[in-house]
Amino acid sequence: MAGRRVLDLGSGTGRHAAHLARDHQALVDAVDNAPSQHERAVSTYGGVPGLRFHLADAVDHLRSADPYDVSYAVNVLPYLPPHKILPAVARALKHGGMLAFSVLHTPSDQRPPSTAVTARPETLSLRGGGDLTVHMYVLTPQLWEDLAVEAGLRVTDVITIDSPDVANPVSYRLFLTHRP
């Protein structure tokens, strides 16, 4: 990863981005649109060489960014309109560049993924207690793959990520893609 340009979409606290910059000498742009997450990331990892934090909308950031070798998004794309974010990321990747992203497949209420590109309400349990209702794109793997291909990406693998706790029905899919 040394010297490679990496994009962390929805970087949150910056932990993953800091690891790549500090331990693997990657040049990382960490983008998040939440001011509180951005402040937390900058205060914790702001001095890490090779790491830049951006408080920005992902699509807006990608319009003017230099091309990336690698981009990743850990459970971020379900919160963004796929027809906007996937083409923006694809255009921002160098030819041969990779995008890895994870998405929710089966929520705790076990509703199946949608076959239409429509955000739906999902209830998230908060660590400190209580629930939060958000709108997410919880789509079938085939639909995510179709959207990625339409955006100009080639899907190389889809990996199922289930909880090690058999009583927990939540399931994710990790998509590995690249720009031809």
Instruction: Give backbone dihedrals phi and psi of 177, rounded to 5 degrees, phi first.
Output: -135, 165
Token output for 20: 């790549």
Which pLDDT score, from 0 to 100, does residue 105 have?
A: 94
Which pLDDT score, from 0 to 100, does residue 165 have?
A: 92
Which pLDDT score, from 0 to 100, does residue 175 have?
A: 98
Instruction: Give backbone dihedrals phi and psi of 169, rounded to 5 degrees, phi first.
Output: -80, -5
Token output for 149: 């291909």
Which pLDDT score, from 0 to 100, does residue 126 have?
A: 86
Which pLDDT score, from 0 to 100, does residue 124 have?
A: 86
The domain that contains 111 carries what CATH number?
Answer: 3.40.50.150
pTM for the predicted model, two decimal places? 0.93
Which pLDDT score, from 0 to 100, does residue 108 have?
A: 85
Positions of the chain with pLDDT lower than 50, given as ranges: none
Which pLDDT score, from 0 to 100, does residue 72 have?
A: 98
In whole angstroms, give the CA distance from residue 171 to residue 163. Answer: 7
If one counts the domains in the chain, the total is 1
Pairing of strands 131-136, 120-125: antiparallel
Residue-range definition of the domain harbouring residue 126:
5-178
Which pLDDT score, from 0 to 100, does residue 79 have?
A: 96
Which pLDDT score, from 0 to 100, does residue 12 have?
A: 95
Which pLDDT score, from 0 to 100, does residue 1 have?
A: 87
Which pLDDT score, from 0 to 100, does residue 52 have?
A: 98
In single-letter form, the type of residue at position 113 comes to P
Cβ pair 172, 104 in contact under 8 A: yes
